[in-house]
Structure 1
């Protein structure tokens, strides 16, 4: 096989591109099959009179496109005999929710046939998060990552070359280089929503933020809430759970627990149990909008994030080769619960 590879000194193409194209040609001509082992890096370097670095660069280029795969200490093998689209996109989400599904579908539709998207989930597990990234560094052209990790994962994220790194939904600091980030600003979202709802809030006596302490963006949410309280002097409290003994007329709750809407359901049940009118004696604002919230109890006030827009915007930046940082703003949807 090596004898049939040609590297031209006179070519304007870099040698690593020439080598990659020659391997692709061998595949197209049927000379290489799936799982067939390529000659070693040393063999290719010696026979073609090119550096080992050039060989590695060519093989990494092919790995990113899914054409070859590396096996630890065993060399490189043909992975596919049909060349993949130019872009191979690694997309890692924290977990699948209705919101993340909307984001993913919008991203996938916008990328279209210009790339292949493989989806992974880390489930807030640091070991899984690290392994998924480190095991795939040579296999993809782009890495779209949603973090929401309590641990600092900047060191792992910095393993991804900046031009391939796209941070999505949750802001990450301490990252190196010029990269892309499309995210929601929790502090600003909470502050702006409360400020916009100030007139509706005025009929209540106490504003209570209900936010689980284990969520990774707890500090940002708390900062936005406290900024509003400091600027308005509104009586307030922060708690992790809604206590029935503290549940009384005049309270307005701002809940952020998205999973199963536990706090939303508890407020509604307690209102019914104590015969308190939601939107009059008890107020409620929740984070993230759903179809159920639109109709439940005449409508639940929400701070809504446009996840469809977030997915589309991220895909557009990849397609247009734009590297920048952009915030997707939230929108307050006022309904009967406030």
Structure 2
């Protein structure tokens, strides 16, 4: 069977960061599920598909290979590619939306996708901490997804996020990652970071190293998606254990002080901090300390190792996938880890 409307069925979303070959494969598999494509349907040739959508042959080849590996199609040498499985009951469709791309977000995504395995469609979006874009992406979606997995970090208008979610996402289909939101209606899952408790507890684990210093300073930009609960936990720790402390809103305007520990939340601020520390000629780990949020491989090497406090991002992705597979939504606080290195 060949449909004259095959090219009308296939869609690419320029807002999505899902690779084009995955979008093509997802579009075909969705069409199979919707009944637009039947058993023994003959897919367009690789050249024909590439020409029609102005994409590379490699993109089409990867999409067909992906569909073949997941059992949707088969190939007959000299004849082409045929649909062989239209029994797509149970096909899970996921709308995945992150606030930004970063090394630790990739860890979450890779763990999430790996744990889900086959028979899953993931449409992946990034909204760059921008609430209007987040709202637009949710509003314009064309598919009724099985689950919506969201990391809700916004620079502004965070208070309105729950209104959009309650309006657009049916109860029982929402999974929040990294951060909780107030006023969410109905059942939902969450794999979240308890920011206030986590920074308090991890600093406490480093108490012996911190005693070498007189003052703790946290770099917390004036405009940030990080929750103020981090500052609450930080301030409470400093007060409980008699440390002088300071909140720095702009790393560019300060001078590095001896006998101080600097805690950096953002990667850009960490780079600026390291540059200033090197210019100060103070010995890292003895005269000045550095702690960075979010473990990444490069931090094992920089300055002979940077101390980090970090959530278990691999576990975060795995837990979200388990909720989907088991169809059991729950709230789970992700543990934080302190990795002590030479910078403290």
Instruction: Note whether the superposition's TM-score is higher than 0.5.
Output: yes
How far is the alpha carbon of 1:272 from its aligned partner?
2.5
CA contact (8 A) 2:191 2:334 kept: yes
How far is the alpha carbon of 1:80 from its aligned partner?
5.0
Q: 2 CA distance for matches of 1:80 and 1:100?
A: 35
Q: Which residue of 1 aligns with 2:30?
A: 66
1:279 aligned to 261, 280, 285, which one? 285
2:140 is the alignment partner of 1:132: no
**Count of residues in correspondence between the two structures:** 274
CA contact (8 A) 2:96 2:124 kept: yes
Q: Which residue of 1 aligns with 2:272?
A: 266
Q: Which residue of 2 aligns with 1:299?
A: 305
User: Which runs of 5 or more structure 1 residues have no equivalent in the other structure?
Assistant: 1-28, 38-62, 70-76
What does 1:124-273 align with in structure 2 at a 5 Å threshold? 124-136=129-141, 138-149=143-154, 150-151=156-157, 152=159, 153-158=161-166, 159-242=168-251, 246-257=255-266, 261-273=267-279
- Under a length normalisation based on structure 2, what TM-score does the superposition of the two structures give? 0.73
How far is the alpha carbon of 1:276 from its aligned partner?
0.7
Q: 2 CA distance for matches of 1:88 and 1:298?
A: 44
CA contact (8 A) 2:97 2:126 kept: yes
Shift in alpha-carbon separation, 1:329–1:200, aligned structure 2, 3 A: same
Q: 2 CA distance for matches of 1:306 and 1:313?
A: 11
Q: Which residue of 1 aligns with 2:322?
A: 316
Q: Which residue of 1 aligns with 2:14?
A: none
Shift in alpha-carbon separation, 1:112–1:68, aligned structure 2, 3 A: closer
How far is the alpha carbon of 1:117 from its aligned partner?
0.9
2:109 is the alignment partner of 1:104: yes
Greater than 6 Å deviation, 4+ residue runs? 29-33
Q: Per-residue CA shift, 1:187-231, capped at 9, x if unaligned?
A: 122111111111111111111111112122341111111111221
Q: Per-residue CA shift, 1:264-294, capped at 9, x if unaligned?
A: 2333323332221000000111101111111
Q: 2 CA distance for matches of 1:105 and 1:305?
A: 16
Q: 2 CA distance for matches of 1:134 and 1:269?
A: 43
Instruction: Tell me which structure has the larger Cα radius of gyration.
Output: 1
Shift in alpha-carbon separation, 1:241–1:322, aligned structure 2, 3 A: same
Q: 1 CA distance for matches of 2:303 and 2:8?
A: 63
1:328 aligned to 321, 327, 334, which one? 334
Q: Which residue of 2 aligns with 1:73?
A: none
SS at match of 2:30: coil
CA RMSD of aligned residues (A): 2.6
Q: 1 CA distance for matches of 2:123 and 2:143?
A: 14
How far is the alpha carbon of 1:127 from its aligned partner?
2.1
